[in-house]
């Protein structure tokens, strides 16, 4: 029996092509697909396209092959925070919902 997350991944992947030029929708779908692939322990991640200067979200579909999409880079500059500051910010955010 297959993992139900595989079906969910296939449903998300199916939605990407019809939205291929609707970049806002496509990016959200590709991000969901990447997260599902990681949950399934598929080889998946982000690589940098040197030629295009864009991140590429990649998923290796077992017994099928790799699929990938360019996604927008994160453009805010790094502010130099350390790990302690990062988790202080996370805790501040989380505390708003507790």
* Residue-wise pLDDT tens digits, 74-85: 999 999 999 999
Find the angle CA(67)-CA(70)-CA(72) to the nearest 5 degrees: 145
Residues of the chain with pLDDT > 90, as a percent, come to 97
* Residue-wise pLDDT tens digits, 24-47: 999 999 999 999 999 999 999 999
In 3D space, the residue among 65, 46, 48, 49 whose CA is nearest the CA of residue 57 turns out to be 46
Name the H helices within the chain: 4-16, 23-39, 83-95
In 3D space, the residue among 55, 88, 59 whose CA is nearest the CA of residue 74 turns out to be 55
Find the angle CA(15)-CA(18)-CA(22) to the nearest 5 degrees: 100
Quote the pLDDT of residue 2: 82
């Amino acid at each position: 029996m297959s993992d139900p997350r595989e079906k969910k991944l296939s449903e998300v992947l199916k939605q990407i092509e019809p939205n291929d030029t609707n970049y806002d929708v496509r990016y959200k779908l590709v991000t969901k697909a990447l997260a599902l692939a990681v949950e399934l322990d598929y080889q998946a991640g982000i690589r940098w396209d040197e030629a295009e200067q864009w991140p590429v979200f990649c998923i290796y579909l077992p017994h099928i092959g790799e699929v990938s999409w360019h996604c927008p880079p994160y453009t805010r500059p790094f502010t130099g925070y350390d790990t302690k500051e990062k988790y202080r910010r996370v805790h501040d955010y989380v505390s708003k919902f507790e």
